[in-house]
Amino acid sequence: MRKTVLYILVSFFAGLGGAFTYDQIKIDQNTQSEFQSTPVVNFASNNSTSTPLPSRDISSSLSEDFVGASQASTKSVVYIKNISERSYGRSYLDYIFDRDPGSQTQISSGSGVIFSKDGYIVSNNHVVQDADKLQVVYNKKVYDAKLIGTDPSTDLSVLKIEDNNLPAITIGSSKTLNVGEWVIAVGNPFNLTSTVTAGIVSAKGREINILQGKFPIESFIQTDAAINPGNSGGALVNKNGELVGINTAILSKTGSYAGYGFAVPVDIVKKIVTDIIEYGEVQKAFFGGEVADFDATIAERLDINVDQDNINGVLLSYVQKDGTAEKAGLKEGDIIVKFNNQVVDSRSQFEEELSYHSPGDEVMITYERKGQTGNANLVLTNREGTTSILKREIYTSESLGAKFETVPKVERDLLNIDYGVRVFNIDNGLIKRIGISEDFIITDINRNAIKDPERLVEILEKIRGRVIIEGVNSKGRQGYYSFYLR
C-alpha cells in the first residue's frame, strides 16, 4: 500500500514538474518572440501546383538603372519596431506555484519611408496598430517615434521622429506609372534591412478586399517585385528612384512571397499623409452616393441597354437622400463614365479619383441614362454633409473599458438610423463584461436616445437594475443586449 501511494505521489509531482517546464518554455517563447506583419491574401486550393516565374534577360543598362534607383531610395527607408505589452491570464499552474505571469513584451516590425526631411515617416496602419511604443531604426540609430495619425481605409500611418536634414524620398507619380514598367521594392523583410527586389507593374487599380475602415479605398498597384513579411510600409520606386507606392500586402498561400505584391499608389499617399500632418486625420470627400462595378450580367439584370462589345463605366448603386449627388440630379441606375473628364471603368478607379479631392472641391461627373449622356456638377462634402474641416473626436471611459465616437451622418444614412454612438477599442470593463461586440453602434439605452458619447457614459455609469441596450452592428443588423446591474 505504501509503495502504491509512493508511486502515485512520484508520478504526480513528475507530471507537475513536466507541465511546469513546458509552461515556462511557452512563456519564454512568448516573451522573446519577434515577428513581421504583412497582410496575406490567401486563396485556398486543394489541387495547387506552383509555377515558376519566367526568368528575365536584364540588360546592362537596366541593371544600371536598378543600381541608381536603389542608391537613391534605400537611404530613405527605415526599420520600424512595434512594441506592445500583453497581459496573460493565470493558469492553474500559476495558482499552484503562486506565480503571476504578468505582462509580456511582443515585438513586430515593418518598414517606413522618410516623407520629409524634418522627420515625418509614412508606413502602413497595420505596422503600427496596437503599439504601446514605436521605435524607428535608421542609420544605426534608434529613435522613439510619435504616432501622428492613421487611416485604416487606406492602411496608411504617419509617424514623427525628432531629427532634421533627413534624406526624404523623391515623390513620383502613380498616375503616369504604366503596366509593364520596371519597379523595385525597398524594405526590411525578415529583419534583413535595406533589401531591394525588382519586378514590373503587373496591373493597376486592383481591389483585393483586405482593408479596414468604414469606407475603404482599394486601388492597388500590383507588382511581381518580391514583397515579404517586413516589407510592409516600405517603398515601391520607379527606375528613377522616385516613390510610386507604399508596399502593403502580398498574395500568398504560405505567408511569404509567391508571385504578387500590392502597393498603395503614391498619389493617394500624398493626399492622406498631407491631411494627417495638417489636421490629424484624413479630410475624406463624399459625393453623396456609392458605385459598383458594371458588366453585361448586371446590365441584363437591370434591363439597361448597352453595347455588349463596349461596356464602360460604373453603376451608381446608391444615392444618399438630400445628398450632393441627388441635388445635382444623379439617380440610382445611372452609369458614370467619367470623373472630371477622367475615364473610370471600375469602382476602384472611381474611388481613387475621388480620394484625390477634399470636401468643398467642385467636380464634374459624366453619366449615361437611357442612352443619353449628361454632366452633373457637384460640390463634394465631408462625412457630416458639410464642407468644413473635421477632426475626429473620441471619448474614452476607463470605467466602461472602451472608446466611443458619434456615428457620422453619411454612415447613419447608409445604416438607416437617425443617431448612434460607436463602441470600439474594447478593453477590460463593463462593456466587455456585457459582451458588446467591437464597432457596435448603440442607439438607445432603456428607450433613451443616445446621440453623443458623453450621454452614453453618464447613463451606464449611474444606471442600476434591468438595462436594455439597442443598436446595430457594423453591417446594419439590429440587435440588443439585456442585463442586470446591481
By annotation, the residues acting in catalysis are 126, 155, 232
CA distance 126 to 144: 18
Residue 457 vs residues 205, 419, 422, 426: alpha-carbon distances, Å: 43, 16, 12, 14
Looking up cell 452616393 gives 289
For the chain, give the secondary structure using H, E and C.
CHHHHHHHHHHHHHHHHHHHHHHHHHHHHHHHCEEECCCEECCCCCCCCCCCCCCCCCCHHHHHHHHHHHHHHHCCEEEEEEEEEEECCCCHHHHHCCCCCCEEEEEEEEEEEECCCCCEEEEEHHHHCCCCEEEEEECCEEEEEEEEEEECCCCEEEEECCCCCCCCCCECCCCCCCCCCEEEEEECHHHCCCEEEEEEEEEEEECCCCCCCCCCCCCEEEECCCCCCCCCCCEEECCCCCEEEEEEEEECCCCCCCCEEEEEEHHHHHHHHHHHHHHCCCCCCECCEEEEECCHHHHHHCCCCCCCCCCCCEEEEEECCCCHHHHCCCCCCCEEEEECCEECCCHHHHHHHHHCCCCCCEEEEEEEECCEEEEEEEECECCCCCCCCCCCCCEEECCCCEEEEECCHHHHHHHCCCCCEEEECCCCCHHHHHCCCCCCEEEEECCEECCCHHHHHHHHHHCCEEEEEEEECCCCCEEEEEEEEC
Single-letter amino acid code for the residue at 57 = D
Q: What are phi and psi of 193, to 5 degrees?
A: -70, 150
List C-alpha distances in Å: 258 to 145, 220, 223. 32, 17, 11
CA of residue 364 relative to chain centroid, distance: 29
CA–CA distance, 123 with 142 (Å, rounded to integer): 17
Say how far residue 161 (Cα) sits from the centre of its chain: 22
Give the three cell numbers for residue 235.
Answer: 517603398
